[in-house]
Every structure is written in C-alpha cells, then in structure tokens.
Amino acid sequence: MEEKWSSLDLEEMINKYVSKTRIFRNREVLRHSYTPPYLPHREVQIEELVRVLAPALRGETPSNVLVYGKTGTGKTVTVKFVTDELKRIADKKGLPMNVIYINCELVDTEYRVLARLVNSFYYETGFRVPMVGWPTDEVYSKLVEILDSKRRFVIIVLDEVDRLVKKSGDTILYSLSRINYELQHARVGVVGISNDLRFKDYLDARVLSSLGEEEIVFPPYDANQLADILTGRAKEAFYEGVLEPGVIPLCAALAAREHGDARRALDLLRVAGEIAEKEHSAKVTERHVRLAQERIEFDTIAEAILTLPIHSKLILHAVVILDEHDRLPANTGEVYAVYKDLCDYFSLDPLTQRRVSDLINELDTMGILNARVVSKGRYGRTKEIRLSLPSSKLRRIYMADKKLRELLAFELSKERRLIDWMS
DNA sequence: TGTCCACTGGAAGGGAGGGCTT
DNA sequence: AAGCCCTCCCTTCCAGTGGACA
C-alpha cells in the first residue's frame, strides 16, 4: 500500500489538509444550536427570566412566562442558557429539577406534546407512550402520575408555541398551565416561546391569565449589536487575521435588513467561511459574504421546492407555465385548469379546487408564490397569483430533481394543446 | 341601487395509515 | 382479531363577499 504513495502526493495532501484547516478554528461556534458562554445585548432579558424562574430554587412554584420575539433574536438560546444554569445550580443544591425542551414546530399536536413530556421521563420510568394510539386524556393522566411520583420542579419549555396553538388550539396550554392544581408533590412552570408577536390574540382569556403571568420581549438586534455578536463568536470560530475587516459589518448589515436575525448573520459568516475554504483562499472577503447570501437564499428555496408533495409541485409548475406564456397574474380557476392538464399528463387524479386553493395559500406562506385575494367586481372574487421568484431560477432547481425534470418535458408534448386552451 | 360573478374559507366528516389494548 | 384512538389529507357542502356593471 505505502509504496503507492509518492512523496509528492503526500505533500499535496498535507497541504490541502493544512489549507483546509487554516480558516476555521472551530466552526461549531457559528451554528445556532451552539450556546455561547456569554450573550451580548440580552442582559435585561436574562435577568427577567431569572427573576421569574429562580423562585423554583427556593422551593416555590415558578411563574409561567411567555417569551416573544422574531426569529434570530436570541429567545431560544437565552432560555436554554438560563435553564441550563438553573438546572446546574439545582443539582448542586441537591434539588430535583427537570428541564424539558420541546420544539413545537415538530411536535405540533396536543397528543404529541403530552407524549413527548411523558417520554422525557423514560430514563426514570422505563416507560414510553407510543407516538399514536392512546386517548389523549390518558396520556395526560399518565403525565400527572409520573410528575407527581416525587417532589420535584419541572420547567417545560415550549418553543415555537404559536405554531402549536395555530394548528391544534390552546387546550394543551390550558391543561399545562393548570397542571399544578392536580399535583401534590411536584411543581411545574411553563415557558412559552413565540415568534409571533400577536400570539396572545389566539389564546383564550383563561389560558392567558395563567400562562401570560409574565412576559418577556426580545427586540430585534440592530446592525451594531449583530456585529458585536459576530465578533465574539468569530474570535472562537476563525483563526486570527482570516477575516477581512469588512466581513463582519457586511454580515451584520445584511442580517439587520432581515429583521435583525442573528441566526442569519451567523449563517452568512459560516457559509462565507466555507466558500473561502473551498476556494483555498487565505482570507474571507466581502465577496465571499455576497456569495454566501446568494447561496443561502437559493438553498432555502430549493430545499422547500424539492420536498414539496407532488400536487404542490404540479400547482407551482402550472403557475410557471402560465408565467412563461405571459399569463400572470392568474386567478385560481386558470391555475386549476392548467394543473388539471398536468395531472392528466402524469396520470394522476386531480385534487378538488377547494384543496388546490389551500395548497396555493401554503405556497404563498412559504414565499414561493404570491397569492392575494382581489375582487374583480362583476368578474368575481378570486386570488391573484404570481411567482415570487423568476421562473428561470425555478428551472435551475428542477434540474436537481429527476422527477421534476419530467415536468420540463411536459411543455414540449403539450404546448400546442395549451396554446389552444389559452386562446 | 341591486345583481351577480368566481371564487373564498369555514365546517364537517370520511377514510387510509399508523398504533394501541384486550 | 376486534375494537379503539390519533393524525393527515382530502372531499363535500355552503354561506359569504368586494366591487364592476346594468
């Protein structure tokens, strides 16, 4: 084996490896899952949170609290930071405390939240609730039973709780916020984290009175604050002198434009570093940041489109076809007609217009389409549908997917018929 | 001023697909 | 195997509607 390696190959390999590690000292620091030891510009919120939750350490019932702020304002990381610390201190004091973190984007029904809560005690009970199958109230009783099996403090963190409520209503919050009344030995505090500032509007007054006892608002970061955050992380993440001076301000400025999203700022910096690394460049430059910006935008949208269910893909493509025949904005009826043709071509049963109307709304929320309800008076009330990005970009994305590529064949064989239909 | 278009979007419910207990 | 239960995706039905037009 060894004799196959010439010293030249080896030297090249070593150089490659060396140059590969020259940019990043530790790129993990730039991921949003990373909890830094210090959170700049969140001192006020940290103190608020401590004030609300710390009573648990004195053996009192902690208040429930709602945490608001847009994405990337540091809500999750701050809550994790504080609860980790509480847990550490509680452990030191020999006080039994559990912190349970649930992201409601994935766990988005009452049943699943309860099941997840029960299952988080698996290590203690050796018991698991299946992800489906049980009556919901039985899971709840089981939870109460497990919680109350001994004296303890439990902090339940529900991240993206607005999603849960929009999808499944607020009964789960109601039961959780009242759960202390059913417990003899244990005490529960709920921390709800919401991206939606109008979240309270969705809540029943009874839930609001107990869950919204305390509120903490996380304002967006401005460009200077973002720059501070990035500077702190960059020290750890990059080797010295690797970043050109304009890089951090540019990342901060771009992210500040995006409602002060620290997550986006970190992504920009990390991806810029990765691009520089791939180019074997010795430095990360502003050009790399611009490339990173482009790539992140493209990747997000491409990912979303490629994972769409087939009918949504067909609907989207119907709009693309209409666009390429200069037929935008189109209304629901027109999109539906082309969509039905596409289904026909693929030998699929078309969905009803009602359902398609909902899927169009979904594509709109994802930012792929732009659908606005308008009234055309005599000619009815409908949606005005446009693409939110050029069809050429969509085509580039299609090429990455084998099945989607078939969509491109559609026009060739059906073009004449479509043109007939349109005139 | 009323009519009427082309839908919208809520409500209810079906049924397939998952999984439980007995 | 039978009898439940939950979720997801979808259909069916339908009252409601903003505004151009007669």
Question: pLDDT tens digits for A108-136?
Answer: 788 889 999 998 998 888 888 887 778 88
> Residue A410 has what pLDDT?
66
Compute the average pLDDT of residues A77-81: 94
> Residue A92 has what pLDDT?
94
Q: Which nucleotides of C are covered by protein (CB under 7 A)?
A: 4-14, 16-21
| pLDDT tens-place string over residues A12-54 | 766 666 655 578 888 888 988 888 888 899 999 999 999 999 9
Is the pLDDT at A267 greater than 90? The verdict is: yes
CB atoms within 10 A of CB A281: 17
> Residue A281 has what pLDDT?
87
Cis peptide before A220 (omega within 30 of 0): no
Give the start-end residues of each E strand in A237-325: none
| pLDDT tens-place string over residues A305-327 | 988 999 999 999 999 999 988 88
> Residue A17 has what pLDDT?
62
Gap from A378 CA to B3 C1', in Å? 9
A150's enclosing H/E stretch is none
| pLDDT tens-place string over residues A82-114 | 999 999 999 999 999 999 999 887 787 888 899
> Residue A303 has what pLDDT?
87
> Residue A8 has what pLDDT?
66
Residues 135-164 of A with CB under 7 A from strand C: 135-137
A108 C-beta less than 7 Å away from strand C: yes
Gap from A115 CA to B17 C1', in Å? 19
3-state secondary structure of A288: helix
Cis peptide before A329 (omega within 30 of 0): yes
Is the pLDDT at A420 greater than 50? The verdict is: no
A328 and A385 in contact (C-beta within 8 Å)? yes
Q: Which domains does chain A have, with CATH numbers?
A: 21-28+221-304 (1.10.8.60), 43-217 (3.40.50.300), 308-422 (1.10.10.10)
CB atoms within 10 A of CB A34: 15
3-state secondary structure of A66: strand
A372 C-beta less than 7 Å away from strand C: no
> Residue A162 has what pLDDT?
83
Nearest protein residue to the C1' atom of C19, measured from CA? A377
